[in-house]
């Protein structure tokens, strides 16, 4: 038995928009959420800019009880709860706290590291002999599965409730984990997504590796330059994206709005061999992941008309486009449209895949292809493969049919998911 799986709810807490309306508007208009962060300058960072969501205190109060808010100091958890709860509501599902558990509904919500600021606070209190001041929520704020645990209680999910973690591949991998659970008949509804903390203790390691841009502190909106000849490193970001996946049968039965169908996908690793390493992908593995995703989805490579790439604004961007070209056996005017949202939000690490999947799916709803910013000077190798017309710098009117979304993470891990438009 293999059930068809569709997307019925979306939620997002991104650097350039908290909530679907603001996020959609920012993608459409090319509005950046990358800004100068004074704290990074004070701490002596080379890269003093980042993409950081800005939910207001008043908004946060709507998602947490007074007890939960007491001592709350975990930005990724906040972002995840906002995005996850919004996706659930967007799908038209109940938030009744008195209802019995939803035995057919579960959660796969990932993160890279959670509650790092809370953990730092806890270390100081323990070292100072003030362990009793930690509070009752310190554990749940700092355990990786704290985000799925929080959401599980808010939504009352009684099926599998878990957290995955695969670096920058986390969000896309989680979608495929949720897809598999529904397709196999083990659940009817799954909330999936991912989140990432903000702040110097998350971003510091990347700054130390000198892989972040250092010459844009005075003009941050120009810094993230996916596919550009002048790309000089990724801009760190944070936030959360969330999707409600549901069996088509369940969605139709309750008359839910359907954004897209998840046709399938693939997850693999390059084994850190053949050019792959802890920080670089094995190109053969990337190509295999894409071709396996296509095969699992039951489509032909020629049917993909849009790619939402990983494309982080590093020297690896031309190699990624080449991998797509080889996997699809397409180039030039035959190449799909390509976009990357990292020019507007930076690289949101563990949250990248889920935020970008939300953005990719919104293109079905809006009948638009969101533009690429900061790549007017396309890298010549990319220009030679895809051609300028396939990488629009401004949003264009276009109705995508099949979108391929891929994410690649530290540890040489890859994920590719295939979405199909679900039009009336």
Instruction: Report pLDDT digits (tens) over 362-400.
Output: 999 999 999 999 999 999 999 999 999 999 999 999 999
Q: State the pLDDT at residue 349.
A: 98
Closest of 187, 207, 192, 254 to residue 39, by C-alpha = 207
CA angle 370, 317, 274 (to 5 degrees): 140
Please report how many Cα atoms fall inside a 13 Å half-sphere around the Cα of residue 37, on the Cβ side. 26
Percent of the chain with pLDDT over 90: 94
Tokens of 204: 């510091």
Confidence of residue 1 (pLDDT cuts 50, 70, 90): low
CA 344 → CA 50, 153, 157, 331, 339, distances in Å? Answer: 11, 33, 34, 26, 11
Q: What is the pLDDT of residue 182?
A: 98
Once rounded to an integer, what is the mean pLDDT over residues 233-240? 98
Domains (ranges, CATH) in the chain?
5-260 (3.40.47.10), 264-421 (3.40.47.10)
Q: CB burial class (10 A; 0-12, 13-18, 19+) of residue 271?
A: exposed
pLDDT at res. 67 = 85
| Pairing mode of beta strands 34-36, 17-18 | unpaired
pLDDT tens across 268-324, in order?
999 999 999 999 999 999 999 999 999 999 999 999 999 999 999 999 999 999 999
Residue 137: per-residue pLDDT: 85
Examine the pLDDT at 92 and tell me if it is beyond 90: yes
37-79 pLDDT, tens per residue? 999 999 999 999 999 999 999 999 999 988 889 889 999 999 9
Mean pLDDT of 75-101: 97
Q: By C-alpha distance, which of 290, 329, 307, 333 is closest to 402?
A: 307
Sequence-distant (6+) residues with CB within 8 A of 419 are 7, 260, 261, 262, 263, 357, 360, 361, 364, 402, 403, 404, 405
């Amino acid at each position: 038995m293999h059930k068809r799986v569709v997307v019925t709810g979306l939620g997002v807490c991104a650097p350039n928009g908290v909530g679907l309306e603001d996020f959609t508007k920012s993608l459409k208009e090319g509005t950046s959420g990358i800004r100068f962060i004074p704290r990074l300058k004070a701490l002596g960072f080379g890269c003093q800019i980042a993409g950081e969501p800005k939910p207001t205190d008043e908004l946060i109060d709507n998602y947490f009880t007074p007890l939960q808010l007491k001592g709350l100091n975990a930005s990724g958890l906040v972002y995840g709860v906002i995005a996850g709860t919004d996706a659930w509501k967007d799908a038209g599902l109940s938030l009744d706290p008195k209802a019995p558990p939803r035995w057919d509904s579960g959660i796969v919500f990932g993160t890279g590291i959670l509650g790092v600021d809370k953990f730092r606070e806890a270390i100081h209190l323990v070292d100072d002999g003030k362990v009793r001041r930690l509070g009752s929520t310190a554990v749940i704020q700092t355990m990786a599965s704290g985000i799925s645990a929080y959401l599980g209680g808010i939504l009352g999910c009684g099926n599998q409730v878990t957290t995955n973690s695969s670096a920058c591949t986390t969000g896309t991998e989680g979608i495929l984990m949720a897809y598999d659970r529904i397709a196999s008949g083990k659940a009817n509804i799954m909330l999936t997504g991912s989140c990432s903390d903000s702040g110097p203790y998350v971003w510091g390691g990347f700054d130390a590796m000198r892989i972040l841009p250092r010459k844009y502190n005075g003009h941050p909106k120009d810094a993230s330059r996916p596919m550009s000849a002048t790309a000089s490193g990724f801009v760190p970001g944070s936030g959360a994206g969330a999707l409600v996946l549901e069996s088509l049968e369940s969605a139709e039965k309750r008359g839910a709005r359907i954004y897209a169908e998840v046709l399938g996908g693939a997850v693999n690793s390059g084994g850190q061999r053949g050019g792959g390493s802890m920080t670089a992908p094995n190109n053969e593995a990337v190509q295999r992941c894409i071709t396996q995703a296509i095969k699992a989805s039951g489509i032909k490579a020629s049917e993909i008309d849009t790619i939402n790439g990983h494309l982080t604004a590093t020297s690896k961007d031309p190699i990624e486009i080449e991998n797509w070209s080889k996997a699809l056996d397409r180039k030039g005017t035959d190449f799909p449209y390509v976009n990357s949202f990292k020019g507007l939000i930076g690289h949101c690490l563990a949250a990248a895949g889920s935020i970008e999947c939300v953005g990719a799916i919104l293109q079905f709803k809006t009948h638009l292809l969101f533009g690429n910013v900061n790549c007017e000077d396309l890298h010549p190798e990319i220009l030679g493969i895809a051609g300028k017309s396939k990488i629009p710098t401004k949003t264009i009117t276009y109705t995508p049919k099949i979108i391929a979304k891929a994410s690649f993470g530290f540890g040489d891990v890859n994920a590719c998911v295939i979405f199909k438009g679900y039009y009336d």
